[in-house]
A and B are shown apart, each in its own frame.
Chain A
């Protein structure tokens, strides 16, 4: 049955792969310069980062308003290890990712006892602590407010076309891993904690342990995204760990729709493209996030992906009705009889 499913989806997968491979060439041809490719690379990195937030917030129901801290932790660790110890990037990027993961797990210990607004306050505080630490570090080892200049990944250089395919590979692996994890006992444990923590405990789920796992996986992905980002942009400053960045991640997630693969992708693409379009109004960025969040929460609780799914479902229902009014009626009678 599994094989059948894959065979059915094969044309879709091949089509998507061709499209994703052709897209950068097309974009470069149309735009005539590398800039749109850079934006596409940033979108890929944000997909990894927001996937991390989705594991924590979308699936496990644990809010984080300090996720940019994991992003910068990954970025700074990788950058600084290279600057001070001259370590190669294939070691520093994993090191940054692992440090972010460890700190995520550590934060989860106290955070797993907190709920709702208490948890959001704790994560805001975590973000702020990270920001001030980077801004005014002991002995100035993070170069403080000036930020750090780092090198690019050697074989990629500044060729954003190569970067695109490099990052695309990461995104594919991350999304496959995410899907696999969600469709397992661990994923079900996450969702059951979100749905009803009390009952999850009664059904044999170690709530604390699973919250810590969710935090660690989430920090892993966001930290990895940060460690890749810093070598793409070749610069990072403490500003990246400000509240604004955390809110950006959350806006992307909520706008696209939580607890889905497609929602994350759609949210990141829409918000990033929108932010590029309104770049001249950058001072009002936070205002835009606020308005967007408000619109989504009031009008589209499931995000745009959730909204599209609803529309598709309604269309299908309407089509079914038109096609087989008789069979539909029969079903209704059957259901009515049971109740």
Chain B
């Protein structure tokens, strides 16, 4: 479904991602793990169009995405969340979700300006849909509050629904559990499975090993920009190289 082929990202001599190929299977949760600085987020940024890969390909359902801009990649069907929360702080919770729907809207500039029937109907439809999505993560009661007023864990949830609002094929989650308490993490576990049931595929970067081992179907391990190992959770947990990378290695 989504795959990267031999992707290399070179920042003026520093090779952040080196020849990495991953395959994300449809309707599965694929995880990307590795020590800090392994290049996980860089690879995410490359898939979502923030960086252009120095070489290699990014392909979604046969469509080449490397070098496309962020908004084009969103329209192609890849949504994302951010490691550092990037909400539209002064906009309401509901408006944040509405912005997320942008690439699926049909109303033109003139429809918007003149409030044509087309615009009014579309607005009514997307407001309903946005409330549904907020109910999905139990945020509907905060719909009219500014995004900045939410607690940290709720802000993470809002980022996820804002991503889902574009009806993506794949959603990239960058450390969704960071800053969440135990109860919220348990809810996240359930939420990830619900997202799969919605028919959306997940690629997730996460440091919380318990969560990753619980939810993932397949895991890629990155270390120093290179692919160190891949496999299902059981296999990864037993891999001596992975254990060495995480615990500091034995020389």
Contacts and interface: CB of A to CB of B under 8 A. Distances in A.
Nearest to B172: A202
Given A177-B113, A196-B88, A203-B102, A184 B74 contact: no
Interface stretch (A25-33, A151-159, A204-212): A204-212
Interface string A176-206: 0100110111111101100110111111111
B102 A185 contact: yes
B107 A205 contact: no
Given A195-B91, A198-B86, A199-B82, A204 B115 contact: no
Contacts of B107: 184-185
Best-surrounded residue of A199, A200, A202 (most CB of chain B within 10 A): A202
Nearest to A185: B105
Contacts of A287: none
A293 interface: no
Nearest to A213: B109
A294 to B, nearest CB: 24
Contacts of A339: 151
B164 to A, nearest CB: 11
Interface string B63-106: 00000011100110001101000111111000100111011010
Using C-beta atoms within 8 Å of the partner chain, give the interface range for chain A: 20 to 34
Interface string B147-174: 0000100000000001100100000000
A211 to B, nearest CB: 13
Given A184-B107, A186-B109, A203 B91 contact: no
B153 to A, nearest CB: 9
B48 interface: yes
Contacts, number: 93
Nearest to A206: B71
A188 B102 contact: yes
Given A199-B86, A199-B88, A186 B70 contact: no
A186 B86 contact: no
Given A180-B115, A185-B112, A201 B71 contact: yes
Contact of A203 (B50, B113, B114, B166): B166
Contacts of B49: 201-202
Interface string B106-146: 01010111110001000100000000000000000000000
B86 A196 contact: yes
Given A189-B99, A192-B99, A202-B48, A184 B119 contact: yes
Contacts of A200: 88, 99
A213 B113 CA distance: 12
B99 A181 contact: no
A186 B106 CA distance: 11
Contacts of B95: 188, 191
B96 to A, nearest CB: 8
Nearest to B90: A195
Interface in A205-229: 205-207, 213
A186 B112 contact: yes
A332 to B, nearest CB: 15
Contact of A202 (B74, B98, B113, B123): B74
A180 B118 CA distance: 13
A180 B116 CA distance: 10
Contacts of B103: 203-204
A339 B152 CA distance: 10
B87 A181 contact: no
Given A180-B114, A184-B107, A202 B70 contact: yes
Nearest to B80: A202
Nearest to A184: B112
A191 B147 CA distance: 13
A183 B114 CA distance: 11
Contacts of A191: 88, 90-91, 95
Best-surrounded residue of A183, A191, A203 (most CB of chain B within 10 A): A203
A184 B113 CA distance: 8
Interface of B: 48-50, 69-71, 74-75, 79-80, 82, 86-91, 95, 98-100, 102-103, 105, 107, 109, 111-115, 119, 123, 151, 162-163, 166
13 contacts: A185-B98, A186-B113, A187-B112, A188-B91, A188-B95, A191-B88, A195-B90, A196-B86, A202-B70, A203-B103, A203-B163, A204-B100, A204-B102
